[in-house]
Amino acid sequence: MVPSRARLRPLGTGDVRLVGGHWGEFQERNRSAVLPHVEHWVERTGWLGNFDAARAGGLPADRRGREFSDSEVYKLLEAMAWELGRAPDPELEARFHAIVARVAAAQEPDGYLNTRFGRPGQGPRWSDLEMGHELYCVGHLLQAAVARARTGHPDDPLVRVARRAADLVCAEFGPDGRAGVDGHPEVESALVELYRVTGERRYLEQAGLFVERRGHHVLDEVEFGREYFQDDVPAREAPAFRGHAVRSVYLAAGQVDLADETGDDGLLAAVVRQWRHTVSARTYLTGGMGSRHQDEAFAEDFALPPDRAYSETCAGVGSVMLAWRLLLAEGDPVYADLIERTLFNVVSTSPAADGRAFFYANTLHRRELGAVPDADEPSPRASSSLRAPWFEVSCCPTNLARTLASLAAYVATADDEGVQLHQYAGGTVEQELPGGRAVRLVVATGYPADGEVRVRVDSDDERPWTLTLRVPGWAVDGATLTVGGTTRPVGPGAVAERRSWRRGDEVVLRLPVAPRFTHPDPRIDAVRGCVAVEQGPLVLAVESVDVPGLDTVDHLRVDPSAPPRAVDGRVVVRCARVTPPEPGWPYRAAPPPVEARGFEDVPLVPYYTWANRGPSTMRVWLPVV
């Protein structure tokens, strides 16, 4: 079941296949490395064993992990479900069923399923809605079940487990039940999604109750204030996303889902307004969200320090989820622009090249060499200066796994008139339009390494339909579209071609992926006097391993009069090395003298690849001479 009132229809999990290239390689790494790695760690840490302990009566003594550790098992199951839908695998299927059986055995007769609450020696059920994450965990259980249902298994044991849990939530928190919400939004969107695959309207109505209650001080205040979990003001009154970044974008995603199903245009308009404000004033160049470490939260407008960027991987995942829902609802390619930016520069940055270590936070400036984490011990999330194999709070690896497994879902959409391509990756797209018009597209591209995207029609139909391609917002000059031998310039936005397509017809979009300087808004104090370098959708960075003899990249200054250029397959910028003033009182009556040595070409790397060659210093925003 697709969103009822959305402008665009998402394609089914079997309709888009990614083959090779950047995203095809990431999906294969996810399957071969990330998923087994995550499964190993949830077993090793005892988070999966918590369900066994619940069944055997061993709780609370045998419980391991934080109050939300159940959710990491559910996200693993969701990732496995999407992966099995992408490419069946009997061995992976067996592992999936084994985990589902252990989870199901811990469910209580009335549907309650949580290893942290509800048993002798534990807190009562629903006794810590502020920080207990009970409904949050239910939400991830439902999302895993939705993934399983959408990949051809609507009556899977996992789906039955999730429905019993959802029914209990509706009974406990319905109109005649507890007037509460969870401190960590997630269940709202999950309930709407479960409604879409089951048709049970009570799930949609319960999501509506949760959304409408929040913002009316139904939760007790915590040290970070009610803004932390968006219980400070009602949804329609908030000017921008605020508080804990992951909570904020998860809630907004649920609000868009609810608005789509109920026709609540006012709620949708509120989220759109908040999204536009947040993207224009509270979002990093990479697409990262959240600049406060202490509460993993959004800061005030333009408070975006690169060296203190929290930019949590989970916030990036949530941002993609939200922007996708807004894209479906409104059809505006600006949402796909942010999805692209975030996928390439936040989601891609988290995993190591081997898929067995991850960034939790994604800084844009590393001043000192990082410490290599212990490969055998979980790392404190914000203390890890390099990618770590696991964290005491490991929401990010599991979130990454489910996102990469479902990545094809973000590539294309359809409406009654045709098909729209939003993200560019090699592979195929298939869809049947109204009237039995079968459409099949074959996409060939080296994007983002090069800007040529070839879309070949691999189906015949005399009736016309429209093929729409997105020209990214960064492609201001130089993009062209070639159709039927005719080439024309195109600008940012959606470019539509309507005709009676024949098998073998080809559309070629060429995007200007030459490296370019990017300048910050002057209101971002932390990077005033700096430039960044981008190439196509990629943010680039300078890394100290590429600058021999330099202790820190902070001693580089860029010559802004010399544009970045590609040399032997790498992007270089013209830089001078500077000698900082002698130590002492750092404030003077006149600007301190800065001695700059001769200029040299300094190579840059795609930001998502940094820290794969050992400890290094790094920065995205480079001071100018």
Half-sphere exposure of 595 (CA within 13 A, CB side): 4
Domain that holds residue 599: 515-623
Residue 208: the pLDDT is 98
Task: Say whether both 598 and 499 belong to one domain.
Answer: no
**How confident is the model over 35-50, as pLDDT tens digits?**
999 999 999 999 999 9
532 and 619 share one domain: yes
Q: Are 419 and 469 part of one and the same domain?
A: yes
Please give the pLDDT value at position 404: 98
498/547 same-domain check: no
148-172 confidence digits (pLDDT tens): 999 999 999 999 999 999 999 999 9
Whether the per-residue pLDDT at 255 is higher than 80: the answer is yes
Q: Which of 476, 510, 544 is the last residue of a domain?
A: 510
136 in a structural domain: no
The larger pLDDT score, comparing residue 596 to residue 386, is at 386
Whether residue 486 sits in one domain with residue 519: no
My answer on whether 448 and 533 are in the same domain is no
Which positions ≥6 away from 174 have C-beta within 8 Å?
Answer: 202, 205, 206, 209
Q: Are residues 579 and 498 in the same domain?
A: no
The domain total for the chain is 2
**Going edge to edge, which strands form the sheet with 412-415?**
9-10, 412-415, 418-421, 465-471, 493-499
Question: pLDDT tens digits for 108-117?
Answer: 999 999 999 9
Any domain includes 190: no
205 pLDDT band, cuts 50/70/90, is very high
Residue 464 lies in a domain: yes
CA distances from 23 to 1, 27, 36, 328, 514 (A): 26, 6, 19, 21, 21
Question: For 228-251, what is the mean pLDDT?
Answer: 97
* Mean pLDDT over the full length of the chain: 96
How much is the average pLDDT of 237-265?
A: 97
Q: How many CB atoms lie within 10 A of CB 257?
A: 28
580 upstream amide cis, omega within 30 of 0: no
The predicted pLDDT at position 385 comes to 84
446 and 528 inside one domain: no
Helix then strand then coil, in percent of the chain rounded to 5, is 35, 20, 45
Give the mean model confidence (pLDDT) for residues 218-243: 96
Q: Report d(CA 252, CA 268) in Å as an integer.
A: 9
Is it the case that residue 471 has pLDDT exceeding 60?
yes
Backbone angles phi, psi at 75, to 5 degrees: -65, -35
Distances in Å between the Cα of 116 and the Cα atoms of 67, 68, 172 are: 6, 8, 18
Amino acid in position 550: L
Looking at residue 595, its pLDDT comes to: 78
Co-location of 506 and 522 in the same domain? no
Q: How far is CA 560 from CA 531, 534, 573, 601, 623, in A?
A: 8, 14, 9, 13, 9
Whether the per-residue pLDDT at 179 is higher than 90: the answer is yes
- Examine the domain organization and report whether 481 and 543 are in the same domain: no
Query: pTM, whole model, 2 decimals?
Result: 0.97
We report the CATH number of the domain holding residue 465 as 2.60.40.1180
Q: Look at the block and give the residue holding tokens 């920080």.
A: 131
Q: Does residue 586 fall inside a structural domain?
A: yes
The pLDDT of 481-491, averaged and rounded, is 96
User: Is a pLDDT exceeding 90 seen at residue 67?
Assistant: yes
Percent of the chain with pLDDT over 90: 92
Predicted confidence (pLDDT) per residue in 605-621, tens digit: 999 999 999 999 999 99
User: Are 389 and 357 within 8 A, CB to CB?
Assistant: yes
Higher pLDDT, 544 or 550: 544
pLDDT band (50, 70, 90) for residue 355: very high
Same domain, 485 and 536: no
User: How far are the Cα atoms of 88, 323, 373, 572 from residue 398, in angstroms, in the given order?
Assistant: 20, 20, 19, 35
Residue 2 has pLDDT above 80, yes or no: no
Is the pLDDT assigned to residue 518 strictly greater than 80? yes
d(C-alpha 75, C-alpha 401), whole Å: 8
- Choosing from 478, 510, 542, the residue where a domain stops is 510
pLDDT band at 58 (very low <50, low <70, confident <90, very high): very high
**Per-residue model confidence as pLDDT tens digits over 563-572:** 999 999 999 9
- Residue 404: inside a domain, yes or no? no
Q: Last residue of a domain, which of 458, 478, 510?
A: 510
CB neighbours (10 Å) of residue 19?
A: 14
Residue 412 and residue 420 in contact, taking contact as beta carbons nearer than 8 Å: yes
pLDDT at 1 over 70: no
Q: Does 358 have pLDDT greater than 60?
A: yes
Residue 597 within a domain? yes
Residues written for the chain: 625
Backbone angles phi, psi at 406, to 5 degrees: -105, 15
Identify whether residues 493 and 582 lie together within a single domain: no
Give 287-343 pLDDT, tens digit per residue: 999 999 999 999 999 999 999 999 999 999 999 999 999 999 999 999 999 999 999
| Mean of pLDDT values over 176-197 | 97
In a domain, 565, yes or no: yes
| Mean pLDDT of all residues in 417-422 | 97
Residue with token string 């199901």:
104
**pLDDT over threshold 90, residue 247:** yes
pLDDT of 549 higher than 60: yes
Predicted confidence (pLDDT) at residue 30 exceeds the cutoff of 60:
yes
> Which of the four pLDDT bands, split at 50, 70 and 90, describes residue 583?
confident
Decide if 429 is inside a domain. Answer: yes
Q: What is the pLDDT of residue 105?
A: 98
